[in-house]
A and B are shown apart, each in its own frame.
Chain A
Amino acid sequence: MAEPAIRLANASAAYGGRAVLDGIDLVVHPGERVAVMGRSGAGKSTLIGLIQAQIPERVALVPQAAALVRTLSVFHNVYMGRLDRNRTSHNLRTLVWPARADLDAVRAVLARVGLADRLRDRAGALSGGQQQRVSVARALYNGRPVLLADEPVSALDRVQGGLVLTELARTHETLVMALHDVSLALSHASRIVVVEAGRIALDAPSAGLDAAALRRYFVDEEAFA
């Protein structure tokens, strides 16, 4: 079998002395699409942060908040996904006078999330859902093999969310995504990992799971749905 894309062995994390994750063992192979699920505060974001800290140079990240530079254009925000692969002089020039090739490449990526016409808009002027898709486009443009995404479609409806997850799976070899929508997770992930109270409570292929089996992990949140 090929070298795993991600390997966490007995990993733990704590904030201010309080353990958030404890004794996590997780091996993800190239090509797997993992949905990380669990109640809010269970440690999903921390788990994604742990993976990112381990292999930063192989990761494209979609953070929980869109984390855009609101005063820059949509183009520049997406372009930032490849800041490390261009020379400083080219980056500084692009800030003022972007090259046609870069504009075309970014426009093509934006088309995949349905935002090609917003290329020159200020990122801060977009709606929450649009900002989230710009954040996804930035990761697509980055193109690194492991995609780490923290609720990448939380501000989108289920249909749009599904389309965005499909695009992510087309570009990135391995996906680890924190998701809260059970049916999106079951239809787009090959494997479900449920985090509960800082430990992995369930780790199974999604093929053998159904919505009811997963729901019992979030009973209290369903009450608010």
Chain B
Amino acid sequence: MRLHVLPGILPAPRWPRPGYAAVSRWFAILGLAALLAADLHVTSLHPWSDLERLLGGLVRPDFLAVEGASILYTVAFAVLGVGLGAGAGFLLAIPYARFRAVRIACAFLRAVHELFWALLLMQVFGLSATTGILAIALPYAGICAKVYAEIIEEADLSALRVLPAGSDPVSAFAYARLPEVLASIRAYTFYRLECGMRSTLVLGFIGLPTIGFYLESAFRQGRYGEAGALMLVFYALIGTRRLWVRGWTLPLLVLGAILALPPMVGSTDVGASLARFLGHDIVPAPLRHASLLAPDTWLETWAALWAWFRPILTGQILPGTLQTLVLAQVALVATAIGALVLFPLTARHFAGPVARPFGRVLLVTVRSTPEYMLAYVALQLLGPSMLPAILALSIHNAGIIGYLMGRHADGLTYRPDAPRGLNLYAYETVPRLYGQFLAYLLYRWEIILRESAIFGILGVATLGFYVDAAIAELRLDVAAVLILATALVAIAVDAASRALRRSLRIADLPVRLASTDTPRSSAPVTA
């Protein structure tokens, strides 16, 4: 159908397109409302003295207490998990744009947090290397597939069109597409390896023998010197990533990782436990013994299933989702404020030559710290409430966005008679970066939500709290339903974020973090 639109009488859109200000206002209002609903009590008696002892551990680290194997395992799990995930992601990226089923499968893979994957995989593979590697590989495959597909889509295709007719598709891909995208894919994958190390650390908190495992026990037993040393070792690993993760070291890393893997712990008969897990454990209890082939019992089975599901929905999924959304909303707004305050610290026009390096180190350190660990530490200090989770999420994410914004700010060119200081910030810098700022925030929204759900394991009543409880009670069918619900909420938020970015016309702005690792000479910043 063709619409004939005469100039001058264009039909008015039913809703006016929201602008930057309107969207910001609504997010802030929702954030305030969520803040009123959130539980922010500080229950710890001596938060400051605990913090003092913690910082004391960082100043006087006890490196001799560090378990060397934990460093090895942290790297080994990350290398193999990310390697496997990136490999699978690359294979999935090729049919990604063409097949909806592939896109849905990838969305599901990445909507489930690596900790949830680990909790599920543990039921089958025990507390083993396989659990650690797959827990990273599965969500990373989904993430990498999406990002690789985007990189391939964005690539310059002019050479592909000039190929002689009849070139076979494999050669065409290898010559005209792959070389164009290889550099971006490599930079992104190396960046993912850094994320993989953060994920591995977090997996230590549930028992895998990585740095996180020793960190958790050191914190719990008040050995702050050891905890400080472990944290410094971890920062060193992340900070030196570019020195030891290179094209030519990759084969060595993979080989070393395979040799260094810890021995199998837990169940050895994987086939039997996988069959039990899929065929019995995660099947909703009322369906386990029902005869699904007899139509006359269907009604009865449905009734039983509903009776089983209803309390989960009203008692766990709905309140858990609400708390997750509340936490994510407060954290998102706090992140926004934090990023706006922090980014001048790393920008040339605001921080002097003395302050700027410190600002950078601060933001890079903050962004290297996994939010789960921040939350864990904050929880030790402040006691169980939403406050530690909000602090952890907003500090980590404000660090990330602030750092990127600082780089964008350095890329701006100002007129010679531009104002200075706060006037420059308010009239030139922030307005010109605001679209980019919103793009980053909306992109982090889904990530913040996934983390909010996970923090339930630490005791905040978000979805993860119920998942953790269900697994502790060995009610895996309930855990599976809850994880599925979490994934659906994450997918919904991702869709909302994408719709908003498109409606604000900021969908094409860079939000990928890896490209900052390869700054190009011509383009000021591509993040």
Residues in chain A within 8 A of chain B (CB atoms)? 56-57, 59-61, 63, 65, 67-72, 76-77, 80-86, 88, 91-92, 95, 135, 138, 142, 144
Q: Which of B38-46, B158-166, B246-254, B370-378 contacts A (4 or more CB under 8 A)?
A: B158-166
Q: Which of these, B162, B164, B179, B183, contacts A82 with CB under 8 Å?
A: B164
Q: How far is the CB of A145 from chain B (nearest CB, A)?
A: 12
Contact A69 B172 (CB under 8 A): no
Residues of B within 8 A of A59 (CB): 165
Give the docked Cα–Cα distance between A72 and B171 (Å).
14
B-side residues, CB < 8 A to A, are: 156, 158-159, 161-168, 170-172, 174-176, 179-180, 182-183
Given contacts A83-B172, A88-B170, contact A72 B161 (CB under 8 A): no
**Cβ-defined contact, B164 with A91, below 8 A:** no
How many whole Å from B126's CB to the nearest CB in chain A?
41
For the complex of A and B, 5 pairs with smallest distance between CB atoms? A67-B158, A56-B165, A91-B171, A84-B166, A83-B167
Selected A-B contacts with CB under 8 Å, 25 pairs: A56-B165, A59-B165, A61-B162, A63-B158, A67-B158, A69-B159, A69-B175, A70-B156, A70-B180, A71-B183, A72-B175, A76-B175, A80-B159, A80-B162, A81-B164, A83-B163, A83-B168, A83-B171, A83-B172, A88-B170, A88-B171, A92-B171, A95-B174, A142-B164, A144-B164
- Say yes or no: B168 contacts A72, CB within 8 Å: no
Q: Contacting A83 at CB < 8 Å: which of B158, B164, B179?
A: B164
The number of residue pairs between A and B whose CB atoms lie closer than 8 Å in the complex comes to 70
Check if B175 sits within 8 Å of A60, measured CB to CB.
no
By beta carbon, the residue of chain A nearest B165 is: A56
**A-side binding surface: helix, strand, loop or mixed?**
helix
Which residue from B163, B166, B182 sits with its C-beta under 8 Å from A80? Answer: B163
The closest CB in chain A to the CB of B168 belongs to A88
Residue of B at shortest CB range from A139? B162
Task: Determine if B170 and A71 form an interchain contact, defined as CB atoms under 8 angstroms apart.
Answer: no
The answer for the CA separation of A65 and B161 in the assembled complex, in Å, is: 12
- For B156, list chain A residues within 8 Å (CB): 70
Is the pair A67, B161 in contact by a Cβ cutoff of 8 Å? yes
Q: Which of A65, A80, A86, A88 contacts B176 (CB 8 A)?
A: A80
Residue of chain A at shortest CB distance from B171: A91
CB-CB < 8 A to A80: which residues of B? Answer: 159, 162-163, 175-176
Partner of A65, one of B158, B164, B182: B158
Given A72-B179, A80-B176 in contact, is the A67-B162 Cβ separation under 8 Å? yes
Q: CB-CB < 8 A to A70: which residues of B?
A: 156, 180
CA distance A68 to B162 in the complex (A): 9
A57 in contact with B175 given A67-B158, A71-B182 (CB within 8 Å): no
Q: A84-B163, A84-B165 are in contact. List 9 more A-B contacts (CB 8 A).
A: A57-B166, A63-B158, A67-B159, A76-B179, A80-B175, A83-B172, A86-B171, A138-B162, A144-B164
Q: Which of A57, A63, A82 contacts B161 (CB 8 A)?
A: A63
CB proximity of B312 to chain A, nearest CB, Å:
52
The distance in angstroms between the C-alpha atoms of A210 and B48, with both chains bound, is 91
Which of B161, B162, B168, B176 lies at the interface centre, i.e. has the most chain A CB atoms within 10 A of its CB?
Answer: B162
Chain A residues with CB under 8 Å of B176's CB are 69, 80
| A73 → chain B closest CB, angstroms | 10
CA distance A126 to B127 in the complex (A): 55
The answer to whether residues A91 and B162 also contact, given A72-B179, A84-B168 and a CB cut-off of 8 A, is no
Is the Cβ of A84 less than 8 Å from the Cβ of B180?
A: no
Chain B residue, CB-CB nearest to A58: B165
- Closest chain A residue to B169, Cβ basis: A88
**CA–CA, A89 and B171, complex, Å:** 8
Q: How far is the CB of B493 from chain A (nearest CB, A)?
A: 35
Q: Across the interface, do A84 and B175 meet the contact criterion of CB distance under 8 Å? A: no
Cβ-closest chain B residue relative to A73 = B179
Cα-based distance from A60 to B162 in the complex (angstroms): 8
Whether B164 contacts A71 by the Cβ 8 Å rule is no
Q: Which residues of A contact B172 (CB under 8 A)?
A: 83
**Within the assembled complex, what's the spacing in Å between the Cα atoms of A71 and B156?**
11
Q: Complex Cα distance A77/B160, Å?
A: 11
Within 8 Å by CB of B180, from A56, A71, A77, A95, lies A71
- Which residues in A have their C-beta under 8 angstroms from that of B179? 69, 71-72, 76
B residues within 8 A CB of A81?
164
Nearest residue, chain B, Cβ from A82: B164
Instruction: Output the least CB separation between B521 and chain A (Å).
Output: 12
| B170: A residues at CB distance < 8 A | 88, 91-92
What separation, in Å, do the CA atoms of A91 and B163 have in the docked complex? 13
Which B residues are CB-close (under 8 A) to A57?
165-166
A160 to chain B minimum Cβ distance, whole angstroms, is 21
- Nearest to A60 among chain B residues (CB) is B164
Q: What B residues does A92 contact at CB under 8 A?
A: 170-171, 174
Tell me the complex Cα distance, A81–B164, Å: 6
Contacts of B165 in A (CB 8 A): 56-57, 59, 84
What is the bound-complex CA distance between A51 and B166, given in angstroms?
A: 17
Q: Which residue of B lies closest to A71 (CB)?
A: B179
Instruction: Check B164 against A63 for contact (C-beta < 8 Å).
Output: no
Chain A residues, CB < 8 A from B175? 69, 72, 76, 80, 83, 91, 95
A56 to B159 Cα, complex, angstroms = 15
Q: Determine which residue in A68, A70, A76, A84 has the highest number of CB atoms from chain B within 10 A of its CB, and name it.
A: A84
Bound-state CA distance A26–B71 (Å) is 72
Chain A residues near B158 (CB-CB < 8 A): 63, 65, 67
Taken together as a complex, chains A and B put the C-alpha atoms of A84 and B156 apart, in Å, by 21
CA distance A84 to B167 in the complex (A): 4
Docked CA distance A68–B158 (Å):
8
Closest approach, in angstroms, between the C-beta of B37 and any C-beta of chain A? 50
Residues of B within 8 A of A60 (CB): 164
Min CB distance B518 to A, Å, is: 13
Give the docked Cα–Cα distance between A59 and B156 (Å). Answer: 22
Q: Which residue of B lies closest to A86 (CB)?
A: B171
A61→B167 CA distance, assembly (Å): 14
